[in-house]
Amino acid sequence: MIPSIPTATYRIQLRDGVDFAQVTRLLPYLSDLGISHLYLSPIFQAGAGSTHGYDITDPTRIDPALGGRKGFDTLARAARDQDLGIILDIVSNHTAFTLENPWLLDVLKHGTASRYARHFDIGWDAGPLVLPFLPEPFEKMLADGAFRAADGLWHFGDAALPLAPDSPATNDLRALHDAQHWRLVHSDLERDGITHRRFFNVTSLIGMRVEDRGVFEDTHALIFDLVRAGSVQGLRVDHIDGLADPAGYLDRLHHALPDTPVWVEKILVGDETLPPDWKTVGTTGYEAARLIARLFTDPAGIAELDRLWRAATGIDTDFRTELRQAKLDVLDNELAAERRQLRDMAALAVQGSPLAQPGPESLREAVTALLASMPRYRSYVTCRTCPEDRDLLGRVADDAAQGLRSRAVVDLLADLMLDPQSAAARVFVRRFQQVSGALLAKAQEDTAGFRWTRYLAANEVGAEPDEPDVTAEQANAFLAARRPGDMTLVSTHDTKRSGDSRMRLVAISHLPRSFQALFDAAARLPSADAVDPRWRWYVLQSALAIWDGDAGRAADRLDGHIEKAMREAKLTSFWTNPDTATETAAKSFARGLLDQWAARPDPALQALLHRGEALAFAQLAFQMLMPGFPDIYRGDEGGLLALTDPDNRLPVDWDTLARHGADTNAKLHWTRQLLALRGSHREFLRDADARVQVDGDGLRLIRASGGTQVIAEFSPTAALPTDPLLSRVFEDGSSVCVRLNQMKN
């Protein structure tokens, strides 16, 4: 019988050539690896050519591009035959805002009379649904004859929009357009003119109102069918913080599927914990990845790196200052539409207040200040069992008021959120909580994380760049709070660097002088003078993270990553207005750097590579043995050096892994051995106490219960304990071992 809490999961990214048939063929390999559950990215009908599946067009169908329902049923039966469960990644927050979405097409045709009008989070009070689909202004395209109407459709380019059934019979295209339930506008208006709730700043993804029972039932009918048929044994909820009422959603999901474990993608900040009333067995584990990286980071090395980085780049800001500026930049640009919507919602919510009579600019200023001061992804001020969130909002209001001419409007909105009496107030509170998460994600992960780049091992999803290390006391408090159902990940499709690449960067904290030597050598390259030192520092870390000896292939991968990094930083280059000269100079520098490494061995580079390898094995041991259970990202069992997507979605050579196996791949061997240990000591690892112990430069993770100990140990020296289960001494003299001991009474 497949257990409800996995021994280990294996994350598979479907699409890009990976379908149900290929996964079915992989099952013998995965079963032999030692996992208990497949963990699949979204399987539902997505946009044509989708590479990820989060742009769902029809939640009632399994995507034919993957093999459809028949292919999935075949996979599910084969998985059961191998005693493997299946966990599905479900996308409750949004669907695709495209003409491939049949529910959306019905709304475009019938407007608020559509059966699906309430399914989508649309601000109908603002008028017809705004469609920012035009490459040029409407009036110009109209004058150029770019539009025509025929057979009940409005045509432009290759697109066709449904006309309302009661559309007037007229040759006046402007009048016909004005009679529709939608309005076509130039794509530039997506910045601040849209009337639907979107996923972050992705206009092509529209929010779904799953807080409505009918919408919940319609969007989850196929999910319920798959679970009740025994084809699916668990669910992972994507972007739980985007929902209007996460706790209510989880209650409803639990009521429908009471015996099905549910995991939530939730980024916990600092010492934040999940709200106690959530019906979930755990998170997907970003906080665990953060802990592992912090445990292996050398604090003394960070202090040295900070000095070297500031001297090299001239950067003198702290991260919190950088983050706050990034939030303001994002609110002025990427999330300008969300701020405008919030300002309008706030105006309705405060009507008739005896405390203040704010105008639109005062409300915009207060909304901006409150959002910029929110330290977490969102608050849960309406949660009855979350009093700390109410305290949090008070601190946020105090911080937001700093520097304002008057704090009256900030206090008015904060009080309103703490006690939303009217329907308009509740709408404002709900949307504020949804937007705050989008802002922190876009500002920290996708902006400040590419500006303030001292130590990229800490610039990660769920991590804090200015909190790169951790004390044993902090780590042990974290481990004591872990639950058996919590995932432990080190790599996902969303991490900025894979786990092995992150450990390459952690090695910099162990050997900062080696990194400085590499930086100095790179600065002597002819291409270096054309590149700002801040980007030389960034490119050097990124090159180290993926270096495998193949300069040409690494350079091609870095080209795409450099473009992404510079445009996400939003300093001189932007997705909408790239600074190609600056990007080209950085790419040329990266290629010169990689050619330099390929031409002659560099002792500093080799030292970092050796230490990174040791740390990667230590990370694997800790991931496998921490409280909770490990989630393995596809291909990571054989070693994975990758940067942010799409680099971390490159094809996996499973044939080579299966054919050569653990005989030639040390990491695959360790993974199998540690998964076997998890399988044979399942109850022990579920219940055993956990603690970390620092011994000089060494680090141990100890699990103990009932006279048995399992210990994972990393040491920068070659001293190894006797009788290890697994042990390895690396070329730099560091060592990693795992041992299973019976304690003496």
Mean pLDDT of 608-637: 98
> Can you tell me the distance from the alpha carbon of 93 to that of 179, in angstroms, rounded to the nearest whole number?
30
pLDDT in tens, 6-51: 999 999 999 999 999 999 999 999 999 999 999 999 999 999 999 9
CA 345 to chain centre: 28
Q: Nearest 5°: phi and psi at 725?
A: -70, -45
255, with CB counted inside 10 A (0-12, 13-18, 19+), is: exposed
* Each residue's pLDDT tens digit, 51-82: 999 999 999 999 999 999 999 999 999 999 99
Residues 515/608, Cβ–Cβ less than 8 Å: yes
Residues 228-232 have a mean pLDDT of 97
pLDDT tens track for 451-505: 999 999 999 999 999 999 999 999 999 999 999 999 999 999 999 999 999 999 9
pLDDT tens column, 378-431 = 998 877 667 788 889 999 999 999 988 889 999 999 999 998 989 999 999 999
Beta-carbon contacts of residue 355 (< 8 Å; ≥ 6 apart): 408, 411, 412, 415
User: Contact at 8 Å (CB) between 546 and 605?
Assistant: no
Note the pTM of the prediction, 2 decimals: 0.95
Mean pLDDT score across all residues of the chain = 95
Token readout for 266 is 């939730």
Nearest 5°: the CA angle 257, 258, 259 is: 95
pLDDT at 735 over 90: yes
pLDDT of 629-685, one tens digit each? 999 999 999 999 999 999 999 999 999 998 877 678 999 999 999 999 999 999 999
Average pLDDT over residues 152-160: 96
Return the SS3 of 270. Answer: coil
Tokens of 496: 């900025």
Residue 719 is predicted with a pLDDT of 79
Could you check whether the bond before residue 646 is cis, i.e. omega within 30 degrees of 0? Answer: yes
- For 208, which DSSP code? B
Rounded to the nearest 5 degrees, what angle is found at the Cα of 299, between the Cα atoms of 296 and 301? 95
CA distance 51 to 49: 6
The number of residues in the chain equals 745
For residue 66 the two structure tokens come to 């993957």
Q: With CA atoms as reference, report the closest residue to 457 among 510, 491, 506.
A: 506
String of DSSP letters for 73-132: HHHHHHHHHTT-EEEEEE--SEEE-STT-HHHHHHHHHGGGSTTTTTB-B-GGGSSEEEE
Is 744 a residue whose pLDDT tops 60?
Answer: no
What is the share, in percent, of the chain residues with pLDDT greater than 70? 99
Confidence band (pLDDT; 50, 70, 90) for 741?
confident
Q: Is the pLDDT of residue 292 over 50?
A: yes
Name the helix (H) or strand (E) containing 331.
helix 319-332
Angle subtended at Cα 461 by Cα 456 and Cα 464, rounded to the nearest 5 degrees: 60
Q: Does residue 141 carry a pLDDT above 70?
A: yes
**Mean pLDDT throughout 364-374?**
97
The reported pLDDT for the residue numbered 743 is 63
Specify which residues 15 forms β-bridges with. Answer: 18
Please, what's the largest Cα pairwise distance for the chain? 93
What number is the average pLDDT over the span 360-374? 97
User: Residue 159, exposed/middle/buried by CB under 10 A (0-12, 13-18, 19+)?
Assistant: middle
Bridge-partner residues for 263, per DSSP?
Answer: 236, 282
Which of 269, 701, 238 is closest to 460 using CA atoms? 269
Residue 701 tokens, joined:
């993770």
- Written as one letter, the residue type at 277 is D
Instruction: Judge contact between 565 and 643, C-beta under 8 A.
Output: no
Give the angle subtended at the CA of 601 by the CAs of 595 and 604, to the nearest 5°: 105
Neighbour count for residue 209 (Cβ, 10 Å): 17
Element (H, E) at 232: none
**Quick one: how far is CA 496 from the chain centroid?**
9
Residue 91 half-sphere exposure, CB side, CA atoms within 13 Å?
23
Alpha-carbon span 187 to 52, nearest angstrom: 24
Question: What pLDDT score was predicted for residue 1?
Answer: 59
User: Exposed/middle/buried for 377, CB within 10 Å: 0-12, 13-18, 19+?
Assistant: buried
Q: What are phi and psi of 734, to 5 degrees?
A: -80, 165
Per the CB < 8 A criterion, the answer to whether 360 and 486 are in contact is no
**CA end-to-end span of the chain, whole Å?**
36
Q: Residue 205 — φ and ψ, nearest 5°?
A: -125, 120
3-class secondary-structure state, position 303: helix
Query: What's the confidence (pLDDT) of residue 511?
Result: 98
Give yes or no for residue 745 having a pLDDT over 80.
Answer: no
- Cβ neighbourhood burial of 32 (10 Å; 0-12, 13-18, 19+): middle
- Residue 259's identity, in one-letter code, is D
Close Cβ partners of 294 (under 8 Å, ≥ 6 residues apart): 458, 463, 467, 468, 469, 470, 475
Tell me which H or E stretch contains 409.
helix 408-418
Q: Which H or E run includes 291?
A: helix 286-296
